[in-house]
Structure 1
Amino acid sequence: MSRFRRALSLSLACSIVVLETGCAVAPGMEIPSAMKHESESLSSAQRANDASVPITEIDAKVVALQASRTEADIQRVAVDLAGPVTAYKIGPADVLQVIVWDHPELAAAQGSQPTAAPRPADPPQGVVVDEDGYIQFPYVGRLKVSGLSTGEIQTRLRAALAEYFRSPQVTVRIASFRARRVFVDGEVHAPGTQQLNDVPMTLIEAIGRAGGFTPNADKARLVLARGGRTYAVDIPALLAHGEDPASLMLRSGDVLRVMSREESGAYVMGEVVKPTTAIPKPDGVLTLADALSQAGSLNAATSNPRQLYVVRGAKGAQPEVFHLDARSPVAMVMAGRFKLQPDDVVYVDATDLVRVNRVLTLLLPAINAALTGAVVTK
């Protein structure tokens, strides 16, 4: 009997310890106690000093700051990518057609006679600009044309031919545009290289030439790489702020990538009905309320609405943590305005009673085994 009593006393003692410290030893993910808002008397500064990462309350001020940053980014993109419309400049590999009127022999010299059965792989007929930017033309010799417009080339050819012909009439046109190109990749129907021609190419036109967006495209996350810099282009936000995406001009060497909506998702974890990866809407917008809705909302039986967190920038040097007390319906208005970023983590904590219950669930098999062993020994 004494062994049974000792086992029973030990079991009761373990249960008391669990009840007192269950929150500290509960399994699963947990926001550290120093980061929780358990005491309403603590100021934000005190909580920031106690926590390894400062916590920012999601309120109207934070939402307004988020909107102002978005507007600043839009203005920067609109200024940096909008440029004056300039004439096409000839470059290496372009093919020119030079016509000197009343002198057909010069046309024959540049290979402009049609062939009987031209093949698709045959180079275009005309004068090809070499890799150094020069062309070779009868009576003129080597002439530097790279970086010039067709009008400037006409003027130089006319001046050079005037030494051999009286008032030569020269026409220069581009037979094939091959020198300048951009690359469009990602969620478009026909990704690949696109040649720039004498009509300046806008960002919208490049997407149109690539077949348009796929259904999985995130129109709010277009990434343009240019000259060692990267620009994030948000088409719906540009339109919402009165900026015309058609004013964004592409240059030779630009790389435009359209991200997929899956790449822009946020993770929803913790006490929700269905932990998931929340996907932005077709317009690229994903708010905290959208993410919770896709996760089936908070678990009414286990969640603590006071402890709703958004962890941002986990891959960077200094993550950010945002907190929302979701007990009030007004808080969900803030959740509907707080926009999530790709790879954000939304975490809903559990109640203390749920934590204690989970610890007891783990310990009860051991307690029952100890009691059973004591009875058998008796």
Structure 2
Amino acid sequence: MKTTVQELALTIDPTRSSTAKTRTTALAVLSTLLAACSIVPGQHMETPPTLAVSSAPDGTVQQSQQIPIQAIDLNLINQMRAGAAQMQQANQLDLFSKPAPYKLGPGDVLQVTVWDHPELAAALGQQVQNSKPSDPTQGFVIDDQGNLSFPYLSHPIHAAGKTIGEVQREVRRDLGREFREPQVTVRVASYRSAQVYVDGEVRTPGGQAFNDIPMTLTEAINRAGGFSQNADRAHLTLTRNGTSYPIDLTQLVAAGKNPQDIMLKPGDMLRVTGRDQNQAYVMGEVNKPTAATPTPDGTLTLADALSQAGFINQGTANPRQLYVIREQDGKPLVYHLDSASPVSMLLANQFDLHPKDVVYVDNGPLVRFNRVLSLLLPAINAGLTAAIVTK
């Protein structure tokens, strides 16, 4: 059998084999370390980011598309605020109207008084069950057909959909057939035909009955005890006939519009959202990753969110890589802010966050290398130890 020169050298100097093994192991570890530097553990924002789009029934990825990143500057902030104001006004056009007199309906209880006719004073009307402590025990109830019956009337009067003044004139005109110039007074003793429902972050949620005071937006909230401490005044929702109308009280007042001009209708539902339901999430290289909560007026800027997260971690963060990720109409939007300059915080103080936005602060290159190294050091030490033991 032939012997190679290398084998002969190893036979003459056995220690050379251990040295070669040690060098080979060190080179392998070093190669692995250099190759792993391109692999960053944890989250990292690519520029520009890519989104995998799957359209096959089996869930396989068909293609990927790049998501454009928009820089946060004054032009973007002005465009976003103008668009939000126009959308808010367009959604609320149907809500503004003038107050109208109360229209009677089935279930309302009326008190009818004919002066100087004591024989009619005994006609106290149908006994009704109290629905509220303020309701009277007796009165004339408008039936489910919307009709009002009263002694000496030639026929029941259809009262539903009419004002109290119209019903009073009809009762007086009909009683004029039996009495000479009767003096008639008709008043509503109990309002029970129409309600709105106020739900969410108010002190006393529940149904609020319509009465002679116009049911405006602020009137409905006041009757429900006012806002609770967790109420988000920028995110109210009015549901009417199957359509939901978002209402931002803060923006309304800032635009010079009076919430008293929003008139509610019977059957409306008003919901006040809680601030804890409209949080934005701050993660990445910040001192305290958190879910940022809007202020009581419902606003939450990028600067507010960073403040609640303890601001950017100066030791690990790359301040030039601050991103806001938002979902709109089922598509992701990414906004970028270079926060290396303190002046950029002026932009952050004007950039309004939306509910469920994600604020992400990327890490620096040296931090990525240190994290990779910290993961590989145990393997390096183990490899060197094994090489030394083998030697």
* 1:273 alignment partner, one of 287, 290, 305: 287
Q: Larger radius of gyration, structure 1 or 2?
A: 2
- CA drift of 1:106 comes to 3.5
Whether the aligned pair in 1 keeps the contact of 2:141 and 2:148 (CA below 8 Å) is yes
Paired residue for 2:311? 297
**Hey, what does 2:196 align to over in structure 1?**
182
- 1:56-106: per-residue Cα shift (whole Å, max 9, x none)? 111111110122123224433553322111110011111111223333434
Determine the structure 2 residue equivalent to 1:243. Answer: 257
CA distance in 1, matches of 2:47, 2:119: 89
Please state whether the residue corresponding to 1:300 is helix, strand or coil: coil
How far did residue 313 of structure 1 move? Answer: 1.7
CA distance in 1, matches of 2:256, 2:135: 47
Which has the larger displacement, 65-74 or 333-342?
65-74
CA distance in 2, matches of 1:224, 1:53: 34
| Inter-partner Cα distance in structure 2 for 1:309 and 1:33 | 11
Q: In structure 1, what is the Cα distance between the partners aligned to 2:298 and 2:102? A: 34
Does the 8 A contact of 1:124 with 1:175 survive in 2? no
> Among residues 140, 149, 158, which one is paired with 2:172 in the alignment?
158
Q: 1:208 is matched with which residue?
A: 222
Q: Which residue of 1 aligns with 2:137?
A: 124
Letter of the 1:124 partner, please give it. Answer: T
Match of 2:98 in 1: 84
8 A contact 1:203–1:250 mirrored in 2: yes
In the aligned structure 2, how far is the partner of 1:35 from the partner of 1:92? 61
Counterpart of 2:237 (choices 218, 223, 226) is 223
Contact 2:127 2:137 survives alignment (8 Å): no
Superposition deviation, residue 158 in structure 1 = 2.9
Distance of 2:165 and 2:133 partners within structure 1? 29
Give the drift of 1:354: 1.6
Shift of 1:270: 0.6
Match of 1:331 among 344, 347, 353: 344
Residue of structure 1 aligned with 2:73, choices 47, 59, 62:
59
Q: Are residue 366 (structure 1) and residue 379 (structure 2) matched?
A: yes
Shift of 1:338: 0.5
Which amino acid in the other structure matches residue 373 of structure 1? A
What is the CA–CA distance in structure 2 between the aligned matches of 1:270 and 1:120, rounded to whole Å?
Answer: 57
Aligned-pair identity in percent equals: 51
Do the aligned residues in 1 keep the contact of 2:146 with 2:160 (CA within 8 Å)? yes
Match of 1:287 in 2: 301
Alpha-carbon spacing, 1:326–1:189, altered in 2? closer, same or farther (3 Å) = same
- Is the 8 Å Cα contact of residues 268 and 277 (structure 1) preserved in structure 2? yes
2: distance between equivalents of 1:97 and 1:77? Answer: 41
Q: What is the DSSP-based 3-state SS (H/G/I as helix, E as strand, rest coil) of the residue aligned with 2:355?
A: coil
2:234 match: secondary structure = strand
Q: 1:82 to 1:124 in 2, by over 3 A?
A: farther
Q: 1:346 aligns with which of 344, 359, 376?
A: 359
Q: Are the counterparts in 2 of residues 124 and 176 from structure 1 also a CA contact under 8 Å?
A: no
What does residue 377 of structure 1 align with? Answer: 390
- State the AA in 2 paired with 1:215: Q
Q: Structure 1 residue 14 and structure 2 residue 32: aligned?
A: yes
1:257 counterpart = 2:271:
yes
| Equivalent AA in structure 2 for residue 193 of structure 1 | G
Q: Is the 8 A contact 2:126 2:141 kept in 1?
A: no
Contact 2:98–2:261 at 8 Å: present in 1 too?
Answer: no
Q: CA deviation at 1:128?
A: 0.9
Partner SS state of residue 277, structure 1: strand
Listed as ranges, the gaps of 5+ residues in structure 2 are 1-17, 51-63
How far apart in 1 are the matches of 2:363 and 2:330?
Answer: 28
Aligned AA (1:10): A
Task: Supply the distance in 1 between the matched residues of 2:311 and 2:344 (Cα, whole angstroms).
Answer: 14
Alignment partners' CA distance in 1, 2:135 and 2:337:
66
Q: Equivalent residues in 2 for 1:88-99 (5 A)?
A: 88-99=102-113
One-letter code aligned to 1:267: Y
- Looking at structure 1, the residues matched to 152 and 68 of structure 2 have their Cα atoms a distance apart, in angstroms, of 76
Structure 1 residue 220: deviation in Å?
1.8
Letter of the 1:147 partner, please give it. G
Distance 2:70 2:121 in 1: 73
Q: Which piece of structure 1 moves more, 177-186 or 158-167?
A: 158-167
Cα offset for 1:305?
A: 1.4
Structure 2 counterpart of 1:352, one-letter code = P
Considering fraction of residues, name the structure with more helix: 1
Cα distance, 1:111 vs structure 2: 2.8
Paired with 2:65 and 2:358, the residues of 1 have a C-alpha distance of 18
Question: What number of residue pairs does the alignment pair up?
Answer: 356
Cα 1:174–1:29 change in 2 (3 A) is: same
The amino acid that maps onto 1:133 is G
Per-residue deviation at 1:51?
5.3
Structure 2 vs 1, CA of residues 246 and 122 (structure 1 numbering), >3 Å: closer, same or farther?
Answer: closer
CA distance in 2: counterparts of 1:122 and 1:276, whole angstroms: 50
Confirm or deny that 1:5 pairs with 2:23: yes
Whether the 8 Å CA contact 1:34–1:51 is kept in 2: the answer is no
- C-alpha distance in structure 2 between counterparts of 1:99 and 1:277, whole Å: 62
Deviations 1:282-322 (A, max 9, x none): 222211111111111111111111211111127x4112111
Which string of whole-angstrom CA distances, capped at 9 and with x for unpartnered residues, describes residues 24-67 of structure 1? x212122234339xxxxxxxxxxxxx953222111111110122
User: Is 1:69 paired with 2:83?
Assistant: yes
Q: Name the SS of the counterpart of 1:337 in structure 2.
A: coil
Greater relative contact order (CA < 8 Å, ≥ 6 in sequence): 1
Change in CA separation of 1:205 and 1:113 when aligned onto 2, cut-off 3 Å: closer
Q: CA RMSD in A?
A: 2.5
What amino acid is aligned across from residue 211 of structure 2 in structure 1? N
Q: Secondary structure of 2:177's match?
A: coil
On the 8 A contact 1:278/1:295 being kept in 2, the answer is yes
